[in-house]
Structures are given as structure tokens and as C-alpha cells.
């Protein structure tokens, strides 16, 4: 088992720099390139700690409990805990096309749910498959496990925790990072993950509804592709990351008592 931790010390200029390094834990292999050569031997990829409650999904009965159509695949849309207006808008515009071939479980963000439901009601009023759309402002841990278990494809922002959960679940995904001007980390996360073959990235500036629909159809329409993406996802993160890091911290703490 690899044990990893790091200390960071402030510089005289107020900038943060690596001080006395014991060990360094990184989430992605590609992150190692951002550290100096003299600490490379102290780096280990641990993955990202994941909430214990979300380490496993609930597949048995999940589609029935969520009221999903058993005859079509399911797309689970995550916009982050607060929701994402850009993702919400793209999903709503694409809804008539998407519910024609899939269930949509859409986590909108609590502040957005009423407006999204109103717009979806109008858009799908005459659609024969309007019952395939399911909007939720917020999903508790059990609902997240159910939606994750039911999902055949996940559309998500690129927060590190979101990616780690999707990877642990072994699901193919379409990742939409927040623009680099707002969050450099999300774009880095998205492409580090996509390089494994587990996901495709759509930049927010390219988030046209027809592109989103085309990518979803391409992944869901090829069972071999979806299966391959799911298998590659499983190898991206370590479900034991929290334990590995915690044991490393204890190990270092105890070494100072000796």
C-alpha cells in the first residue's frame, strides 16, 4: 500500500511553495509533471477520496423506483451541487431529441428546479415520451446511488469529486468543464480523465444541443464503446484513496513521536 502526504509552506512573497516534503499525493498521473524533479520520488497517485456512501451504486430496482422506462437507456445529468445553468439550458433545448431514445435523470440544482420544470413541461407538452424526463433539484446519497446504478451514460461537470465518483461507478461519461477563465482545474481534470478513454469532453463554448445529442447517441448506440469506456473509468481512481491517505498521515504523525 502506498502512503502519501505533503506539507506546503508559504514563501516570503506570500506565494505557496513546497516546503519540507514528506510525501505527495496526487489525483491524476499527469499532475506529477507540475512538481520539481527533486521530489518526484516522493510522489504517488492515490486517486481522490470518495464519500463512503457513494462508493457503490444501487442497480437492483433503481429504474423501477425512479420510474424509468425499462426499454431505453438512461442518461444521468449532473451539474454540480448548485446545478449549472449552461448544462440545464443545453439539456432543455435537446430534450425532444434526447427523450426519443433515452430516459433523462436531471439534477438541476435546487435553485433551478422550478424554472427547469416549467420549461420542460412546455417543451415536452405534446411529446409521446415526455414521461422519460425526470428532474430533481437535489439528490440525496441514496438517490445518487440509484441514479448512478440506473445510468448508462453520465453527463457531468468536471469537479474532481464528480469525476472520481463516475470513475468508481464504471460509467461512460460526457464531461463539460467550467471555462478555463473561471476554473483552470476543471479543464485539467476533464482532459486528464478523457485521455484514459473513459470520457469525452465538450467545452462549454461548444455545448450546442445537437453536439450533445450526437455524442450521447454515439456512445449509447455502440455497446462495445460504452463498455470499453466504463472499464477504463474503473482504472482511473482508487476506491481506497481515503484510507491510503489517512494511514499515511498517521504513519508520519507517529514517526514524529518516536
Q: Which residues contact 61 (CB under 8 A, 6 or more apart)?
A: none
Task: Provide the 3-class DSSP secondary structure of residue 32.
Answer: helix
Query: Is 185 contained in some domain?
Result: yes
pLDDT number for residue 22: 76
Q: Is the dihedral of CA 222, 225, 231, 237 positive or negative?
A: negative
CATH number at 113 reads 3.40.50.2000
Residues 56 and 42 placed together within one structural domain of the fold: no
Residues 126 and 169 placed together within one structural domain of the fold: yes
Distance, in Å, from the CA atom of 156 to the CA atom of 107, rounded to the nearest integer, reads 10
Query: Would you list the DSSP string of 93-123?
Result: HHHHHHTTT-EEEEE--TTTHHHHHHHHHHH
pLDDT number for residue 7: 39
Residues 62 and 78 placed together within one structural domain of the fold: yes
pLDDT number for residue 8: 34
Query: Is 216 contained in some domain?
Result: yes
Residues 89 and 216 placed together within one structural domain of the fold: yes
Q: What residues make up the domain containing 141?
A: 52-234
List the chain pLDDT tens, one digit each, 258 residues: 344 444 333 444 444 455 567 777 776 676 777 777 877 777 777 767 777 767 778 888 888 989 999 999 999 999 766 668 999 999 999 999 999 999 999 999 999 999 999 999 999 999 999 999 999 999 999 999 999 999 999 999 998 889 999 999 999 999 999 988 887 789 988 999 999 999 999 999 999 999 999 999 999 998 899 999 999 998 887 766 666 666 667 776 677 665
pTM: 0.81
pLDDT number for residue 139: 92
- The C-alpha cell at 32 is 506529477
pLDDT number for residue 236: 83
- The C-alpha cell at 9 is 509552506
Query: Is 195 contained in some domain?
Result: yes
Residues 179 and 249 placed together within one structural domain of the fold: no
Residues 174 and 244 placed together within one structural domain of the fold: no
Residues 23 and 130 placed together within one structural domain of the fold: no
| Virtual torsion, Cα 125, 127, 128, 134, nearest 10 deg | -70
Residues 39 and 60 placed together within one structural domain of the fold: no
Q: Is the dihedral of CA 180, 84, 161, 168 positive or negative?
A: negative
Query: Is 202 contained in some domain?
Result: yes
Residues 110 and 193 placed together within one structural domain of the fold: yes
Query: Is 141 contained in some domain?
Result: yes
Per the CB < 8 A criterion, the answer to whether 70 and 152 are in contact is no
Query: Is 220 contained in some domain?
Result: yes
What DSSP designation does 221 have?
A: T
Distance, in Å, from the CA atom of 194 to the CA atom of 173, rounded to the nearest integer, reads 9
- The C-alpha cell at 2 is 502506498
**What H or E segment, with its residue span, contains residue 257?**
helix 241-257
pLDDT number for residue 96: 98
Task: Provide the 3-class DSSP secondary structure of residue 13.
Answer: coil
pLDDT number for residue 182: 81
Residues 28 and 99 placed together within one structural domain of the fold: no
Query: Is 22 contained in some domain?
Result: yes
Residues 211 and 173 placed together within one structural domain of the fold: yes
Total domain count for the chain? Answer: 2
Query: Is 222 contained in some domain?
Result: yes
Residues 60 and 43 placed together within one structural domain of the fold: no
Amino acid at each position: 500500500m502506498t502512503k502519501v502526504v505533503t506539507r506546503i509552506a508559504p514563501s516570503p512573497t506570500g506565494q505557496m511553495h513546497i516546503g519540507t516534503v514528506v510525501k505527495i499525493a496526487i489525483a491524476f498521473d499527469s499532475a506529477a509533471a507540475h512538481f520539481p524533479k527533486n521530489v518526484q520520488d516522493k510522489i504517488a497517485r492515490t486517486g481522490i477520496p470518495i464519500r463512503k456512501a457513494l462508493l457503490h451504486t444501487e442497480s437492483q430496482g433503481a429504474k423501477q423506483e425512479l420510474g424509468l422506462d425499462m426499454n431505453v437507456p438512461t442518461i444521468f445529468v449532473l451539474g454540480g451541487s448548485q446545478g449549472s445553468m449552461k448544462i440545464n439550458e443545453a439539456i432543455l433545448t435537446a430534450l425532444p431529441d434526447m427523450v426519443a431514445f433515452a430516459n433523462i435523470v436531471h439534477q438541476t440544482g435546487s435553485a433551478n428546479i422550478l424554472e427547469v420544470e416549467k420549461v420542460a413541461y412546455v417543451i415536452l407538452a405534446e411529446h409521446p415520451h415526455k414521461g422519460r424526463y425526470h428532474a430533481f433539484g437535489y439528490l440525496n446519497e441514496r438517490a445518487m446511488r440509484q441514479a448512478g446504478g440506473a445510468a448508462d451514460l453520465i453527463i457531468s461537470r468536471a469537479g474532481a469529486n464528480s469525476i472520481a465518483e463516475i470513475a468508481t461507478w464504471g460509467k461512460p461519461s460526457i464531461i463539460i468543464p467550467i471555462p478555463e477563465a473561471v476554473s483552470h482545474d476543471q479543464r485539467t481534470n476533464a482532459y486528464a480523465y478523457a485521455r484514459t478513454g473513459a470520457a469525452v469532453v465538450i467545452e462549454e463554448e461548444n455545448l450546442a444541443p445537437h453536439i450533445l445529442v450526437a455524442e450521447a447517441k454515439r456512445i449509447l448506440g455502440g455497446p462495445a464503446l460504452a463498455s470499453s469506456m466504463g472499464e477504463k473509468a474503473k482504472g482511473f481512481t482508487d476506491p481506497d484513496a481515503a484510507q491510503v491517505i489517512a494511514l499515511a498521515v498517521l504513519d508520519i504523525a507517529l514517526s514524529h513521536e518516536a
